[in-house]
């Protein structure tokens, strides 16, 4: 039984995040990406969940496939807004019965279209954590937003709720960020609030400016001018990708020097950028 909290207690974790495939072709492509990343011996991989349950079966099937077909422990993302308690009980019992021991407990974003609003027994991720604790002894991770969550009135309020949530959970993984100071402030602020559980930084190698602009806007992460200028100095898409990988590698090296408990890579279901960062950092590859 591999619990991420045990892995973190015994050393650094290196993990990859994937979205569940929604077609046969995407399944084959993700299978190939995971096979390409397996030699890096990731500590775990995580599989995202569509808010409101929109990828419920795809996420479950992908998590169970990783558990069954690879040597890598999976972590299942699970959002609670739009779910009832019986639905969550059902999802958790499927995972427990299959030997999946790790879950990332999330609120998820409320639907924009009122027609998509579903009955729910939950408001915040902390409600989901309490329910999972009643149901199982799974290791529970939570999301942290170094620059503050977009729905928070201010950073101090967000830190206070995050500290409470993390006190109930085992570890946190962060939203991506590009300036290390955001991560260091987050860890310091949590320590000031009495919470010293591991906070694993999430790293997004930028390989496409438009895509990151869109994701940064949604997540509340700043896309700093210095990085934009660097990327825009590349004259071909391949230059942009190389510059993005270099910037992510430098950020990873600084995070490890600063004592980060691990690195969690947002892979966008591709292996190349993550493999290049691994090689450049000198991390072991089988
Ligand atoms: P919460 O911790 O509940 O926080 C939401 C907001 O409520 C924050 O502003 C917080 O400060 C505030 N708050 C918390 N508790 C209280 C309280 N008691 N009273 C008042 N305010 C409170 N989304 C997906 O749909 N699927 C995914 O797979 C997914 N994976 C993610 C992985 C990571 C690592 C991260 C960082 C985010 C991920 N998200 C995912 C996005 C996430 O669902 C959204 O950011 C969502 O809006 C908030 O989720 P949360 O779990 O952080 O919520």
- Any idea what the CATH number is for the domain that residue 180 is in? 3.20.20.220
Q: Would you write out the chain's pLDDT as a tens digit for each of its 286 residues? A: 899 999 999 999 999 999 999 999 999 999 999 999 999 999 999 999 998 888 999 999 999 999 999 999 999 999 999 999 999 999 999 999 999 999 999 999 988 888 889 999 999 999 999 999 999 999 999 999 999 999 999 999 999 999 999 999 999 999 999 999 999 999 999 999 999 999 999 999 999 999 889 989 888 899 999 999 999 999 999 999 999 999 999 999 999 999 999 999 999 999 999 999 999 999 887 7
Domain assignment present for residue 263? The answer is: yes
> For the chain, what is the HEC assignment?
CCCHHHHHHHCCEEEEEECCCCCHHHHHHHHHHHHHHHHHCCCEEEECCCHHHCCHHHHHHHHHHHHHHCCCCEEEEEECCCCCHHHHHHHHHHHHHHCCCEEEEECCCCCCCHHHCCCCCCCCHHHHHHHHHHHCCCEEEEEECCCCCCCCCCHHHHHHHHHHHHHHCCEEEEEECCCHHHHHHHHHHHHHCCCCCCEEEEECCCCCHHHHHHHHHHHCCCCCHHHHHHHHCCCCHHHHHHHHHHHHHHHHHHHHHCCCCEEEEECCCCCHHHHHHHHHHCCCCC
Domain extent for 31: 4-281
Angle at 106 between CA 182 and CA 277, to 5 degrees: 50
- pLDDT at site 29: 95
Domain assignment present for residue 286? The answer is: no
- pLDDT at site 85: 98
pTM of the model: 0.97
Domain assignment present for residue 130? The answer is: yes
Domain assignment present for residue 214? The answer is: yes
**What is the number of the ligand 1 atom nearest to the C-alpha of 49?**
28
* Torsion region of 52: left, alpha or beta (phi above 0 gives left; psi -120 to 50 gives alpha): left
Residue nearest to atom 2 of ligand 1 (CA): 125
Residue nearest to atom 52 of ligand 1 (CA): 143
Query: Ligand 1 pocket check: which of 50, 81, 108 to mutate, most ligand atoms within 8 Å of Cβ?
Result: 108
Domains in the chain: how many in total?
1
Domain assignment present for residue 255? The answer is: yes
* Separation of CA 126 and ligand 1 centre (Å): 9
Domain assignment present for residue 30? The answer is: yes
* Separation of CA 77 and ligand 1 centre (Å): 12
Residue nearest to atom 25 of ligand 1 (CA): 51
Q: Which residues are catalytic?
A: 17
Domain assignment present for residue 252? The answer is: yes
- pLDDT at site 242: 95
**What is the number of the ligand 1 atom nearest to the C-alpha of 109?**
47
**What is the number of the ligand 1 atom nearest to the C-alpha of 164?**
15
Residues with CB under 6 A from ligand 1: 48-49, 51, 77, 79, 104, 106-109, 124-126, 143, 149, 151-152, 158, 161, 165, 173-175, 202
Residue nearest to atom 51 of ligand 1 (CA): 106
Query: Ligand 1 pocket check: which of 45, 62, 76, 106 to mutate, most ligand atoms within 8 Å of Cβ?
Result: 106
């Amino acid at each position: 039984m591999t619990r991420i909290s045990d892995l973190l207690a015994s050393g650094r974790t290196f993990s990859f995040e994937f979205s569940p495939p929604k077609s046969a072709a995407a399944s084959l492509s993700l299978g190939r990406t995971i096979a390409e990343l397996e030699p890096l011996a990731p500590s775990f991989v995580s599989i995202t969940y569509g808010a409101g349950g929109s990828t419920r079966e795809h996420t479950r099937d992908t998590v169970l496939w990783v558990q069954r077909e690879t040597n890598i422990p999976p972590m299942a993302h699970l959002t609670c807004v739009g779910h009832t308690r019986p639905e969550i009980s059902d999802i958790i019992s499927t995972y427990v019965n299959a030997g999946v021991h790790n879950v990332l407990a999330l609120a998820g974003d409320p639907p924009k279209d009122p027609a998509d609003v579903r009955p729910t027994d939950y408001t915040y991720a902390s409600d989901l954590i309490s329910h999972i604790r009643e149901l199982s002894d799974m290791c529970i991770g939570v999301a942290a937003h170094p620059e503050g969550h977009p729905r928070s009135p201010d950073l101090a309020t967000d830190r206070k709720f995050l500290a409470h949530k993390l006190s109930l959970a085992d570890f946190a993984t962060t939203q991506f960020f590009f300036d290390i100071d955001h991560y260091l402030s987050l860890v310091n602020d949590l320590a000031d609030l009495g919470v010293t559980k591991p906070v694993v930084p999430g790293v997004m190698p930028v390989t496409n400016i438009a895509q990151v602009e869109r994701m940064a806007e949604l997540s509340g992460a700043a896309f700093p001018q210095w990085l934009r200028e660097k990327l825009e100095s590349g004259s071909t898409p391949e230059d942009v990708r190389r510059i993005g990988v270099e910037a992510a590698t430098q950020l990873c090296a600084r995070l490890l020097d600063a004592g980060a408990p691990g690195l969690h890579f947002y892979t966008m279901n591709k292996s190349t950028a993550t493999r290049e960062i691994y090689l450049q950092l000198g991390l072991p590859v089988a």
